[in-house]
Amino acid sequence: MAPLISKLGGGIKPSATLRLMEEVSSLEKEYGFKIIDLTSGQPDRGPTEDVLAALFEGGKLSRYGPVQGDPELREILSGVINKEIGVRYDPQDIAITVGAKGGLDILMRVLLEPGESMGIMTPFWVTYPESVKIAYGIPCFLGSDGGLRPNPEKLRREIEAKNIKVLLYSSPCNPSGVVYTKDELEEIAKIVKEKDIWVIADEIYNKFLFDGKKHESILSIEGMRDNAILVDGPSKRLGVPGWRLGYVAGPSEVIKALTKLQGHVNSGTSRPAQYAMRVAYTSQKAKEATDDMRQRYERNRNIFVKGLNEIDGISCIKPEGAFYAFPSIDNFFGSKYEFAGKEFPIRSSVDFRNFLLRKAQVAGVEGAPFGMDSHIRFSLATGEENIVNALNYINHAMKELHL
Ligand SMILES: Cc1ncc(COP(=O)(O)O)c(C=O)c1O
């Protein structure tokens, strides 16, 4: 018998989105048909040529670099933050991390004592609760208003009742596409100040805003500098999730502690990738490529959400940002379908996801790991043809559901 691994190691849930990406290709082999994959949490376009060329050139940076990140890149990011949200962070108050995910992971350990509570706005990105658990914190799920938007009154009560030390949300939101308004952020800021807690704003989708909307950040609200921490990065906007870069900006004390931990956790992130980011954040070509993606995803949203809402029983809010559609599908709980000579019931978002995989040959991600089992998430970061075909296939498959 082998010795035991830790409770943490045994109990942590695998990332539903990353796992599904692998499952889709093995299902294609098993069933022998092609699946339209709308699970992806990444853009369908990569970096521009000039950014790629800079990556190759950066390859010569093969020795350890500054743990906090390349000083020149931090200087550039200081300018980007100032331009985009109107707040000046000294480069000393910015740390480059191993993806936004790596930044969040270390932040949890910087902010939480074991057993302290992190308030996570529902619905949430699948990794949030697990990364709180990795820091031996307690994830507490804070309700929206029954729909998908924050409800400040409810939030105030829950923060008090659950003794929340840190509040965490993404806006634009993965999975819902909801973008917090200035008013909502001001309400949240008021509560944060009143209770004197931390707030982490994950703004990684801030370049994907639709209908001409402008990005609003809690960091730009007066008085928030001491309480608010920004998490962002190039993975989505510049199409480089595989390069594992992100950054965190916040109060000096937080960034110093994060850097100390990072020195032991990973010694900082890839130097060639950071070198390439100097170009990416200043390149006109890269800016145009991001804008092009945004426009394409907005068109996909228009087609897909309209089509979904025309299907009896499905209801989908119009996402204002990010690149996901998050319709409710719980009207179909209790129905059944046949596949490969067997009858399958639908009782959960996982069952509905399997139904679509088998009968529509379309892959989405079940809502359960995002905190809403009543929903399913589809990625819009794909070609328009896939969006149109997926709608047709879903439409056809729905006719095979029965009570
Ligand atoms: C809300 C949110 N935050 C952070 C991340 C992680 O970004 P990165 O790839 O830079 O670690 C993701 C990726 O899906 C995300 O959806």
Atom of ligand 1 nearest to the CA of 246: 10
Length of the chain: 403
Residue whose CA lies nearest to ligand 1 atom number 16: 174
Q: How far is the CA of 344 from the centre of ligand 1 (A)?
A: 34
Delimit the domains of the chain by residue range.
Answer: 7-45+287-398, 49-283
pLDDT at 383: 97
> 371 and 174 in contact (C-beta within 8 Å)?
no
Query: Residue holding tokens 């980011």?
Result: 277
Is 7-45+287-398's fold the same as 49-283's? no
Which of 278, 288, 175 is closest to 237 using CA atoms? 288
Burial of 396 (0-12, 13-18, 19+ CB in 10 A): exposed
Q: What is the pLDDT along the chain (403 residues), one digit of tens a residue?
A: 889 999 998 888 777 777 777 778 887 888 788 999 999 889 999 999 999 999 999 999 999 999 999 999 999 999 999 999 999 999 999 999 999 999 999 999 999 999 999 999 999 999 999 999 999 999 999 976 667 999 999 999 999 999 999 999 999 999 999 999 999 999 999 999 999 999 999 999 999 999 999 999 999 999 999 999 999 999 999 999 999 999 999 999 999 999 999 999 999 999 999 999 999 999 999 999 999 999 999 999 999 999 999 999 999 999 999 999 999 999 999 999 999 899 999 999 999 999 999 999 999 999 999 999 999 999 999 999 999 999 999 999 999 999 8
Pairing of strands 228-232, 198-202: parallel
In this structure, the strands spanning 376-379 and 324-325 are: antiparallel
Q: How far is the CA of 101 from the centre of ligand 1 (A)?
A: 6
Q: CB of 386 within 8 A of CB of 36?
A: yes
CA angle (101, 350, 309) in 5-degree steps = 95
The CATH number given to 49-283 is: 3.40.640.10
> What residue type is 39 in one-letter code?
T
Angle, CA 323 vertex, CA 322 and CA 324 arms, to 5°: 105
Closest CA to 381 of 293, 285, 292, 290: 293
- Compute the radius of gyration of the chain from its Cα atoms: 21
Q: Which letter does DSSP use for residue 169 in this model? A: E
- Measuring CA to CA, how many Å separate 4 from each of 14, 214, 275? 19, 51, 42
Residue 313, φ and ψ in degrees, nearest 5: 100, -15
What torsion do the CA atoms of 113, 114, 120, 125 make, to the nearest 10 degrees?
Answer: 110
- As a whole number of angstroms, the distance between CA 118 and CA 212 comes to 33
Q: Cα angle vertex 204, ends 378, 285, to 5°? A: 95
Decide if 180 contacts 158 (C-beta within 8 A): no
Answer yes or no: are the C-beta atoms of 134 and 108 closer than 8 Å: yes
Q: Which of 42, 96, 125, 179 for a ligand 1 pocket mutation test, highest count of atoms within 8 Å of Cβ?
A: 125
Residues with CB under 6 A from ligand 1: 41, 99-101, 125, 170, 174, 202, 204, 233, 235, 241, 246
Burial of 85 (0-12, 13-18, 19+ CB in 10 A): buried
Give the single-character DSSP code of 209. Answer: B
Residue whose CB lies within 8 A of the most ligand 1 atoms, among 204, 207, 208, 237, for a mutation test: 204
Q: How far apart are CA 118 and CA 129, in angstroms?
A: 9
Chain centroid to Cα 276, Å, comes to 23
In this predicted structure, what is the pLDDT of residue 145? 64
CB 223 within 8 A of CB 189: yes
Distance from C-alpha of 12 to C-alpha of 355, rounded to nearest angstrom = 26
- Tell me the CATH class for 7-45+287-398: alpha beta
Nearest CA to ligand 1 atom 13: 41
Per-residue pLDDT tens for 35-76? Answer: 999 998 899 999 999 999 999 999 999 999 999 999 999 999
User: CA-to-CA distance for 11 and 13, rounded, in angstroms?
Assistant: 6
| Beta-carbon contacts of residue 99 (< 8 Å; ≥ 6 apart) | 233, 235, 241, 244, 245, 246, 269
Spatial separation of the C-alpha atoms in residues 150 and 182, rounded to whole Å: 12
